[in-house]
Amino acid sequence: MKIDRKTLSLIVPVDREDGRTLHVHIRPLSREAFEQNYKIIGQTINLLYAEGLGVGAPRLAALALKDLALKQKIWPEVEAGLVAEMHRGASVIAPNEQGRYETFLWDDAVARGVISADDALEVDGAITFFTVACCMHTRKELTNILETLSGMWGAQESYLTPTEFASSLKMPTAPEPTPARATTSSIPR
């Protein structure tokens, strides 16, 4: 697979408690955002690998980033800059009651409860990991990482915009109700 960093996106499925699946569409950082944040991005990926957090890296990346920024006393700047930029690059695609998928900006989806707080916390690690991995790995290495995320999270790479991806989804159909059958009893009354 040839990686095009400008249009590559990661799609992470999230199974909601109501049985429906929503999808989080994550875009990589722009070159400008990377250049403004390269040091903390590099430190984050290094911490994840140096501490032996490999398999857990997608779940722990947001925590690692925050931990590093707090220790350096730059968390407010990182949160308002890098984290906000990562979240601007994420969209939540969720089924609505009318049988269509709607696309929400990450912050709106979290604020409105489209994605639960627990799911948002979990997916935030994937957003951060995908972001730092895209910034720091070669295309060849990134191919292997995307395959790993696919196996661990059921994630998939895509070159579609959030709207195009939402349009490609088919709404799950509810199973047809089974008609009640008349039963006869063999027990005498």
**pLDDT given for residue 41 in this prediction:** 96
> pLDDT tens digits, the chain, 189 residues: what are they?
445 555 688 899 999 888 889 999 999 899 999 999 999 999 999 998 887 766 667 788 999 999 999 999 999 999 999 999 999 999 999 988 887 899 999 999 999 999 999 999 989 998 998 899 889 988 788 887 777 777 777 888 888 888 888 888 876 554 444 454 444 444 454
**pLDDT given for residue 185 in this prediction:** 43
**pLDDT given for residue 141 in this prediction:** 83
In whole angstroms, give the CA distance from residue 120 to residue 109. 9
Contact call for residues 149 and 126 (beta carbons, < 8 A): yes
**pLDDT given for residue 97 in this prediction:** 81
**pLDDT given for residue 143 in this prediction:** 80
For the entire predicted model, the pTM comes to 0.81
Domain spans of the chain, in order of start: 9-168
**pLDDT given for residue 183 in this prediction:** 45
